[in-house]
Structures are given as C-alpha cells and as structure tokens.
Amino acid sequence: MPHASAPPDDPTPFNTDAVREVIRAAASVPGAMLPVLHAVQGHLGHIPSEVVPLVAQALNVSRAEVQGVLDFYHDFRRAPPGRHLVWICRAESCQAMGAEAIETHARNHLGLAYHETTADGALTLEPVYCLGNCACSPAVRVDGEIHGRMDPIRFEKLVEELRAETVTA
C-alpha cells in the first residue's frame, strides 16, 4: 500500500505573469475573492502560497484575509492534486446505500484521508456531498466521470486501472 502524502507546498514554479493575468481577469467582479481563487486554482490546479500576496495586492486586502478564505474553504488545494481526483459521494442516498463502507474501504485501500494524495501522485481522495446520481448509489466520480453502484471490489479495480494509465506529456 502506498503511503499517503500531505505534500508540502508546491515547489513547482509557475509563470507569475500568467497568474497575474488570471487574477486581473477575475478581479473586476464584485466580491472577487472567491472568483479569483477559483480562477487561480483552475489555472494551476492548486493555490501555491506564493500566490497569496499576488491576490492580496490585486484585491487591496491583507494577506491574512486571503489566507483566511483559503483556510475556511477546504476545496482550495494548497498542493497539486494527483493525476486523478476521486470524489466519494456522502449525500443521503449514497449513505443509505453503503457509501460509508466505500469511504472506509477507499481510505484504507489508498492509505489516505480526504484531501490527501497518494505518494505516487496518482490519486487524490475528496468528499463530495451530492453527485446527482442517487438512482445508482453509492457513487464515485473520477475526474469527470461518475461511477454508480460502487462496491469495494469495483473501487479496487477502478484504482488499479487509474494507476495503470500511463502519463503522457
């Protein structure tokens, strides 16, 4: 079983000018903090700590205010996600159909807590509160694809397939 990782802040460099442009494009809407942070995460896949002062400056707020928003909303990632995002539905229908068992199995099988990435960088495990697939509960979404009627065996097979995918540049 791979070790879970709580990756340190991303050492991967990014194009500061491109990030400033992303921030500038989203900064003009009222209440721009969340749109700006979503735009940065959409661009980089996460929000490195080096972006916090750029956002603060663009929005004329303190770094603490930006950090406070990042700390409050756990959907903002501080480190790059794995190559595949695995979301486990935790809504009522999925809970009634065994999602808690899938969740426990997934966490044990991957050796992860929510919001963590496997050491090989293949998978990041996330909770979600409804995938809108209640008729096929319990459901899991991998990247953009929903997989219904999930069970531990299907989950392990899915993980095996995801890990077997080759990374193309």
* The domain boundary residue, chosen from 41, 72, 103: 72
Asked if 88 and 162 sit in the same domain, the reply is yes
Asked if 51 and 92 sit in the same domain, the reply is no
Sequence-separated (6 or more) residues with CB below 8 Å from residue 18: 43
Asked if 119 and 89 sit in the same domain, the reply is yes
Angle among Cα 3, 75, 34 to the nearest 5 degrees reads: 150
For residue 97, the 8-state DSSP code is: T
CB 45, CB 55: distance < 8 Å: no
Sequence-separated (6 or more) residues with CB below 8 Å from residue 109: 1, 152, 155, 156, 159
Q: What is the pLDDT of residues 56-72, one digit of tens each?
A: 999 999 999 999 999 99
Asked if 21 and 50 sit in the same domain, the reply is yes
CB 117, CB 81: distance < 8 Å: yes
* pLDDT of residue 50 exceeding 70: yes
Give CA–CA dist 106/110, Å, rounded. 6
In DSSP terms, which residues pair with 46 in a beta bridge?
A: none
Q: Letter for the amino acid at 33?
A: M
Q: What is the pLDDT of residue 30?
A: 86
Binding residue ranges: 89, 94, 130, 134
Residue 140, domain member (yes or no): yes
* The domain boundary residue, chosen from 72, 106, 138: 72
Residue 4, domain member (yes or no): no
Residue 11, domain member (yes or no): no
| Six-digit token string for 74 | 């756990």
CATH of the domain at 142: 3.40.30.10
Residues spanned by the domain of 150:
84-166
Residue 78, domain member (yes or no): no
pTM for this structure?
0.75
Q: Letter for the amino acid at 43?
A: H
Asked if 44 and 111 sit in the same domain, the reply is no
Minimal CA–CA distance to 96: which of 137, 42, 140, 53? 137
Residue 77, domain member (yes or no): no
Asked if 53 and 117 sit in the same domain, the reply is no
Binding residue ranges for [2Fe-2S] cluster: 89, 94, 130, 134
Residue 21, domain member (yes or no): yes
Asked if 96 and 139 sit in the same domain, the reply is yes
Q: What is the pLDDT of residues 102-159, one digit of tens each?
A: 999 999 999 999 999 999 999 999 999 999 999 999 999 999 899 999 999 999 999 9
Give CA–CA dist 75/155, Å, rounded. 23
* pLDDT of residue 13 exceeding 90: no
Q: Letter for the amino acid at 95?
A: Q
Indicate the number of domains in the chain.
2
Asked if 139 and 108 sit in the same domain, the reply is yes
Give CA–CA dist 30/50, Å, rounded. 24
Q: What is the pLDDT of residues 66-94, one digit of tens each?
A: 999 999 998 899 989 999 999 999 999 99
Residue 53, domain member (yes or no): yes
